[in-house]
Amino acid sequence: MREIQAADISAAVARMCVSANTRLPDDVRRKFEEGLRNETTAAGKEIFRQLLENADLAFETKLPLCQDCGLAIFYVELGEDVFVPGGVNAAITEGMVAGYKDGFLRKSSCDPLSRRNTGDNTPAIIHIDLKPGDALKISYMAKGGGSENMSRVTMLSPSQGWEGIKQFVVQRVVEAGPNPCPPIILGIGIGGTFELAPKIAKQALLRKLDDLHPDPKVAEMEAELLAAVNRLGIGPMGLGGSYTCLGVKIALAPCHIASLPLAVNVQCHSARHEEVEF
């Protein structure tokens, strides 16, 4: 059994929340720079220019990149031989609360009916996967409401297959239009169950924009969806152009013989996530 101190986890999570909200990931920045060079519309180019200036300013001033610092989402890979006195959930939550408070990040969590703000961004949304071994990896994502609202889960019929999947994804992007702050990134969960598909769809957004899916067939599907979505011409902030989407990330899971669950998680261009390993 390996013991990891809760205080160490909390401190790392707090740092990660502040850092992710104030420092645009390098892979996203490279895409913005590419967009500034290659976008076909003047309005689209201007959006990329502003987003790069915004990223520089956020890094210098430690103001959040976006005022919507999101609900705090954590995907945790927890080794079965790890022991955290006080508990992993509590340690992550404590770190998140401290990071959002000390980093002047917006607290966006509220009661679903009374709409009363919980005041400290709790609860953290924590997904824990148990793994063999004694390692601990915590990935954090700041997920804003505007893009999350444009995300959908559907249960397709197996007969609809890849064509049905493509159609649903493209239609989702059409209907979302300018709302989710394009250029977007799409996390696509195919298979699993009604609750698993959206979980892996969001998890897929933790991948680097410029990585290639290890399965060449899936990598090809990602490229095909990306091209289909970018043909729509919605462009940065919906102002028209060839950069509607910066990347498509697909996650697959076996599903019931009767089902073809599909989840589309729409991520805004401010794709804020970081990870820490113990």
Partner 1 sequence: MTTHALNTPLTDADIEKLRAGDVVLLSGIIYSGRDAAHKKLMELLDRGEALPFDLQGASIYYVGPSPAPPGRPIGSAGPTTSGRMDAYAPRLHALGLKATIGKGKRTDAVRQAMQDHKAVYFGATGGAGALLSKCITASKVIAFDELGPEAIREMTVQDFPLLVINDAFGGELYAKPNLND
Q: Which residues bind partner 1 (CB under 8 A)?
A: 43, 47, 50-51, 53-54, 57-58, 61-69, 104-108, 115, 117, 119, 145-146, 149, 173-174, 177-181, 231-235, 237-241, 268-270
Q: What minimum distance in Å lies between the beta carbon of 63 and partner 1?
A: 4
Helix, strand, or coil here: 111?
A: coil
- Residue 144 CB contacts under 8 Å (≥ 6 apart), including other chains: 66, 68, 69, 70, 181, 268, 270
Q: What per-residue string of b and e applies to 25-56 under the rule 16 or more CB within 10 Å gives b?
A: beebbebbeebbeebebeebbebbeebbebbe
> CB of residue 107 vs partner 1: minimum separation in angstroms?
7
How wide is the angle at C-alpha 167 spanned by C-alphas 161 and 38, nearest 5°? Answer: 125
Query: What's the closest the beta carbon of residue 110 comes to partner 1, in angstroms?
Result: 8
Determine phi and psi for 134, rounding to 5 degrees. Answer: -125, 30
Tell me the closest approach of the beta carbon of residue 202 to partner 1, in angstroms.
18
Q: Select 91 or 181, whichever has its Cβ closest to partner 1.
A: 181
Residue the block writes with tokens 């493209």: 170
Q: Specify the residue, 46 or 275, whose C-beta has the smaller distance to partner 1.
A: 46
Nearer to partner 1, 69 or 250 (CB): 69
Q: How far is the CB of 232 from partner 1 (least distance, A)?
A: 4
Upstream peptide bond of 64 is cis (omega within 30 degrees of 0): no
What phi and psi values does residue 57 have, to the nearest 5 degrees? -65, -40
**Contact status, residue 234 vs residue 244, Cβ threshold 8 Å:** yes
Q: Least distance from C-beta 138 to partner 1, angstroms? A: 23
Q: Name the residue nearer to partner 1 (CB basis): 11 or 63.
A: 63
CA distance 231 to 191: 26
Q: Considering beta carbons, is residue 228 or 252 the nearer one to partner 1?
A: 228
Cα four-point dihedral sign 17, 21, 23, 29: positive
CA 36 → CA 52, 88, 172, 211, 239, distances in Å? 9, 42, 26, 21, 14
Give the nearer residue to partner 1 in terms of CB position, either 85 or 178.
178
* Smallest gap from residue 121 Cβ to partner 1 (A): 11
Of the pair 104, 162, the CB lying nearest partner 1 is at: 104
